[in-house]
Amino acid sequence: MKSRLRSSLRVSALVLASLAALNVLAPTARAADTARQKKGGGIDWNERAAPWGKLRNVAPDAQKKSGFKLFDNVHYVGLQTVAAYLITTSDGLVLLDAAYANTTDLLLENIRQAGFDPKAIKYIIVSHAHGDHFAGAGTFVQLSGARVIMSELDWDETERRQAGGLPTNGLRLKRDLVVRDGETMKIGDTPFTFYVTPGHTAGALTTVYPVKDRDRTYRAVSPGGLGFNFGPEWTEPYVRSFERLKALGPFDTVLPNHAYMGPRDLFDVESDLAKRGAGWHPAAYGPQRINAWIDQILNAARQKQDYERQHPEPAGK
């Protein structure tokens, strides 16, 4: 009985396999099957579970976004999707992320419109080794001689990517400043503390620094990488990094590396700032709200993790 059941199961498996080979299975079943074979189950975890939802896709020629003063020492100089922050210190300007290779003109325009000379950029912090954050850096280096800061692992990845010579990876960067986990670098009057928070990339670099608003100073965090577009092998490190990030708090505000990925959309913050008057800073979320936001991220990451445990990838992939 048992063996007959087993053999009939084997037969139906064979039938299914040949049906699949003939492409006669229902399209949804086929799609699900193909999806499972892809990294991360082929599921868009940003869309399914992340607090920011589906990744926003904007064509390069629609990326223009006017800059704005976010804090007394921070200007948003980035794009519609990818953030870039210009931080003023007593020893020159710091650019946190440099966006794409072909959008540097937009950043430069925002920097100049804010009243700054791009040649005064002394440091560029790269949050992680994806082209929408590092590829513009080379142009700034050429222009101002800025020093580039990355984690060791993401320098490795940047070099790997740029070795291909693809123009989308920008002007070739020379390995420059390598920061270690927990290291603080004082630039003029402003201390920047770095944490290597793997997940989104192997060496995603989280930066913690003070931002000023009127007579207050807030503790800001810019997470190294947020999006869930990574394979199953990085889900556990991602979870650990965000557990750690929570423990590194309390934080007063979040400056995410994509404008829509923080506790609030930064462009909503921008419009609230314009009508703020004597009120509270609209991005001074406070530790409670930020921890709730981190919990949402952790919850999404654990859903991804559970799924991946239940649907392990075939060996040898």
Question: CA 311: distance to chain centroid?
Answer: 26
Write the CA distances from 177 to 83, 118, 123, 160, 180, integer angstroms: 22, 20, 10, 17, 10
> Residue 158 CB, nearest distance to Zn ion (Å)?
12
Q: Considering only residues 65, 75, 130, 281, which one is a binding residue for Zn ion as defined by CB under 5 A?
A: 130
Candidate segments 40-48, 53-61, 122-130, 163-171, binder of Zn ion by CB under 5 A = 122-130
Smallest distance from Zn ion to CB 308, Å: 19
Q: Which residue stretch of 38-46, 129-137, 175-183, 309-317 sits at the interface with Zn ion (rule: CB under 5 A)?
A: 129-137
From residue 287, alpha-carbon distances to 187, 248, 263, 292, 294 in Å are 26, 11, 11, 8, 10
Decide if residue 258 touches Zn ion (CB under 5 A): no
Minimal distance, residue 194 CB to Zn ion, in Å: 17
* Strand 85-89 with 92-96, pairing: antiparallel
Nearest of 132, 110, 155, 101 to residue 226 by alpha carbon: 132
Nearer to Zn ion, 75 or 130 (CB): 130
Residue of closest CB approach to Zn ion: 130
Q: Which residues of 33-56 are buried (b: 16+ CB within 10 A; e: fewer)?
A: eeeeeeebbebbbbeebbbbeebe
Which x/- pattern, by CB under 5 A, does the window 73-112 give for Zn ion? ----------------------------------------
Instruction: State the nearest-atom distance from the C-beta of 258 to Zn ion, in Å.
Output: 8
* Per rule CB under 5 A, count of chain residues that contact Zn ion: 1
Stretch that binds Zn ion, among 25-33, 106-114, 116-124, 126-134 (CB under 5 A): 126-134
Candidate ranges 16-24, 45-53, 66-74, 123-131; the one touching Zn ion (CB under 5 A): 123-131
68 or 134: whose CB is closer to Zn ion? Answer: 134
Task: Measure the CA–CA gap between 131 and 113, rounded to whole angstroms.
Answer: 25
Nearest to 82 by CA among 99, 65, 69, 102: 99
- Minimum distance, C-beta of residue 260 to Zn ion, in the bound complex (Å): 14
Question: Least distance to Zn ion from the beta carbon of 302, Å?
Answer: 21
Q: How far is the CB of 200 from Zn ion (least distance, A)?
A: 6
Q: Which stretch binds Zn ion (CB under 5 A): 79-87, 130-138, 273-281, 293-301?
A: 130-138
The binding site for Zn ion (CB under 5 A) comprises: 130
